[in-house]
Amino acid sequence: AQKITQTQPGMFVQEKEAVTLDCTYDTSDQSYGLFWYKQPSSGEMIFLIYQGSYDEQNATEGRYSLNFQKARKSANLVISASQLGDSAMYFCAMRGDIGTSYGKLTFGQGTILTVHP
Amino acid sequence: GAVVSQHPSRVICKSGTSVKIECRSLDFQATTMFWYRQFPKKSLMLMATSNEGSKATYEQGVEKDKFLINHASLTLSTLTVTSAHPEDSSFYICSASRSGGLETQYFGPGTRLLVL
């Protein structure tokens, strides 16, 4: 079974500062994918960044980077230069690449990020 | 690219009625679509996976007869909540991927269902 854990229910950051949102995962699969999604109060899920389990380089997408530490089974999201519009719920998710978990996303509990001006 | 729409965005219905929610991929063909349910300030829970032209695969604990899923074309999947009850009130959100599950899933804006 796959499990995603986000231990920070809420995080606060000052505008223009960087913030790290934690995510740890548990799986016995060798191949998997890790995702971060942003969910504003409107409810839509916005894809931010993806990291494959075999990717050696940490993924980056603009102000988002994923700090992938495979041995620790962690996939933290780093948001640089926070903006007020970054205030939202953030979900870490894992996709199974084989067996019964193939293609399915398992989500963490989410972290509510609040950016202060 | 990769835009997914859902309709309606919000629906209120009486207990006992059925409600249909549509999920459309607007600028790509989606071999696979997923339906999730989310309670307020909680995580998303996968309900079922639907592949175009075949029966949906439901997750454990999800009632197939209550949540009917149809994926009739490569751009449309529907979720029908049959004989809805207040406990079915929730946020339902779909996602779509181009070619099976290994592609990134793109999510629709969600549908808020309130059953009175």
- pLDDT tens-digit series, residues A24-67: 999 988 889 999 999 999 999 999 999 999 998 999 999 999 99
pLDDT bracket for residue B116 (50, 70, 90): very high
Nearest CA distance, A60 vs chain B (angstrom): 16
Express each pLDDT in B17-58 by its tens digit.
999 999 999 999 988 899 999 998 899 999 999 988 888 999
The chain B residue lying nearest A111, using CA atoms, is B41
pLDDT given for residue B99 in this prediction? 72
Average pLDDT over residues B68-87: 94
Distance separating alpha carbons of residues B7 and B17, to the nearest angstrom: 17
Which chain B residues have any C-beta within 8 angstroms of a chain A C-beta? 32, 34, 41-44, 46, 49, 91, 93, 95, 97, 100-102, 104-110, 112
Distance separating alpha carbons of residues B17 and A115, to the nearest angstrom: 42
Residue B72's SS3 state is: strand
Residues of A in contact with B1 (CB under 8 A): none
Distance separating alpha carbons of residues A101 and A105, to the nearest angstrom: 8
| Dihedral-angle region of residue B8 (phi above 0 means left; psi in -120 to 50 means alpha; beta otherwise) | beta
| Dihedral-angle region of residue B41 (phi above 0 means left; psi in -120 to 50 means alpha; beta otherwise) | left
Residues of B in contact with A96 (CB under 8 A): 101
pLDDT given for residue B51 in this prediction? 86
